[in-house]
Amino acid sequence: MPRRQAHATVFLAIADPTRRAMLELLGSGDKSAGELGEPTRLTQPAVSQHLRVLRDAGLVRQRKQGRQRIYSLEPAPLEGVADWVSYFEQFWDRGLTRLGSFLDRRTTQ
């Protein structure tokens, strides 16, 4: 089984393409809420709501700077996702998959 359990909110947060794009943007440096919304054609509230989901998932941090809110990437929760996915890496190689199934069948019956 997967080693670590990522919080469900993280998987839900990154399920949306707009939010993934926002995280990618933050990879090239901190951005204000306005800057994060600019590449989209969404209204300001829609952007703000997406940012809230990312905040609630712990994927971004917010700090005030004047009247703007500067967002920064908080990649830690993605480690949980990486761990979950990495469990399946053992199956990426076909040969190992077959061996794994064989061993499983021998041990689980």
Partner DNA sequence: TTGACATATTCGTAATTGCTTATATAATTT
Partner DNA sequence: AAATTATATAAGCAATTACGAATATGTCAA
- For DNA, give the closer residue by CB, 46 or 103: 46
Cβ–Cβ under 8 Å, residues 84 and 6: yes
SS3 label, residue 32: strand
- For its own copies, give the closer residue by CB, 29 or 95: 29
SS3 label, residue 68: strand
Candidate list 4, 24, 68, 103; residue touching DNA; CB under 7 A: 68
Per partner kind, with CB cut-offs from 5 to 8 A, the member of DNA, its own copies, none near residue 68 is: DNA
Chain positions 59 to 78 lying near its own copies, rule: CB under 8 A, are 72-73, 75-76, 78
Instruction: Give the total of residues touching DNA (CB under 7 A).
Output: 26
Cβ–Cβ under 8 Å, residues 73 and 59: yes
Encoded amino acid at 70, one letter: I
SS3 label, residue 3: coil
Q: Kindly state the smallest distance separating residue 109's Cβ from its own copies, in Å.
A: 10
